[in-house]
Amino acid sequence: MAEKITPRSADYSRWYLDVIREAELAENAPVRGCMIIRPYGYAIWEAIRDGLDRRFRATGHQNAYFPLFIPLSFLQKEAEHVEGFSPELAIVTIGGGEQLEEPLVVRPTSETIIGHAYSRWIRSYRDLPVLINQWANVVRWELRTRPFLRTLEFLWQEGHTAHATAEEAIAETLRMLDVYEDFARNEAAIPVIKGRKSQNEKFAGAVASYTIEAMMGNGWALQAGTSHYLGENFARAFEIRYLDRDNVLQYCHTTSWGVSTRMVGAVIMVHGDDQGLRLPPALAPIQVVIVPIWRKDDERARVLSVAEQVERALATAEVRVHLDRRDDLTPGFKFNDWEVRGVPLRIEIGPRDVEQQTVVLARRDVPGREGKQAGVPIAGVAAAVQDLLPAVQQALLQQALAFREANTTYGVRSYDEFKTVLEEKGGFIRTHWAGSDADEARLKEETKATLRCFPLEVPEGEGRCFLTGQRTRQVAIFARAY
């Protein structure tokens, strides 16, 4: 018997965990802070992976793989990098029953091991740019974990590129940020804000970090992907150099960028409702579920025959379809089961539908009778589904956009007003900011809100900083965040 899902308004964190359990996305592993990703959850990750991988290949990147173990000395070559990651490192000191001559770090990220390889691969300007991505797992020893959003081990992709000039590397950094935004908007149906991270929040070892920030269903922010311009920092640490056209030895400029399984968490939290998941069709492992309905044994064969006919038509139309043939469950139980799993469309076929040669279509994103469309001709069901799936995709994006807009406060005039808005309304506070790094740190300590990013698009023009009173063109987004 399935457990009840806690309403979001009662306990948002519990709701999130309940949805993951009831939709069978993941479960806790025997090791604290790790998770077992179940097949349905992994299928969502595969859809995310495939959508990103297509974009990486289209922009000229190639996939490779680098070792899980990294010599500790590699991390120590870039001071800011090792300082930033030291609290999160898992270090192996014994192998094969013997003490290792040099400790090995279980990969927290791969700039150092990839930098070591690039120093051997790159000799001339003719070798540039190097555009590499890898799909891998990483380990970061987190104290407070939450499935998909923050775990000890997680899956991700990490792009690592090397360029002849700063201009080329910066262009690559921003190009991949655009790729992430395109994926988030058009496949995950998540509106994101592109921005630059503050000095306090940037990646350890980067010159500049850029982010896509998304608003979750409780108004909190989630960093959904990052892209970093690393300058010459790692090139100097690992001697990644090339001979330019004038035969002068130059350091490369490098980038790195990544999206992880926290994108699965974002999809849950942006689109989910009190009944469970609501998956955008582009990422849904099952886009359409067919539920046959009968009461008498003599109805079963006729209904199933038509259901199978519809299944074949949808499969031929390249729709990801599943026919629920389970005999021991009521139609009502099946409806609820597939709602929890967030399947975008449900097709109901009963004896009367068979007689009339029609089906009933039900949208997951529109609850109740409003989301149902009866009398759809069987002969036209594939075309009807192909029309509806993009409509569901767009509707989820528009709902998420409307929610973000309704929960964004534009401009605050004082620190007191900032704190009041944060406590009483929450969401994003988008306001002019001229504070120092120390001001930012104090604000984070006192309010638990972080400076999520400086948006790249700033239509506001000049304004006054709510904390310092200085006039500035710089706008920042503050929010509590996962």
Cα 226 to its chain centre, rounded Å, is: 10
- CA quadruple 21, 26, 27, 33: dihedral positive or negative? negative
pLDDT of residue 83: 87
| Helical residues (DSSP H) of 272-368, grouped into ranges | 297-316, 331-340, 351-356
Structural domains of the chain, ranges and CATH numbers in brackets: 12-271 (3.30.930.10), 288-388 (3.40.50.800), 408-479 (3.30.110.30)
The structure's pTM equals 0.96
pLDDT at 2: 53
The HSE-up count of residue 9 (CA atoms within 13 Å, CB side) is: 0
Q: How far apart are CA 14 and CA 20, in angstroms?
A: 10
The residues, any chain, with a CB within 8 Å of residue 215's CB and separated by 6 or more, are: 221, 222, 270, 400, 403, 404, 407, 408, 427, 428, 479
What pLDDT tens digit does each residue of the chain (482 aa) get?
A: 457 999 999 999 999 999 999 999 999 999 999 999 999 999 999 999 999 999 999 999 999 999 999 999 999 998 788 888 888 999 999 999 999 999 999 999 999 999 999 999 999 999 999 999 999 999 999 889 999 999 999 999 999 999 999 999 999 999 999 999 999 999 999 999 999 999 999 999 999 999 999 999 999 999 999 999 999 999 999 999 999 999 999 999 999 999 999 999 999 999 999 999 999 999 999 999 999 999 888 899 999 999 999 999 999 999 999 999 999 899 999 999 999 999 999 999 999 999 999 999 999 999 989 999 999 999 999 999 999 999 999 999 999 999 999 999 999 999 999 999 999 999 999 999 999 999 999 999 999 999 999 999 999 999 999 999 999 999 999 999 99
| Predicted local confidence at residue 1, as pLDDT | 41
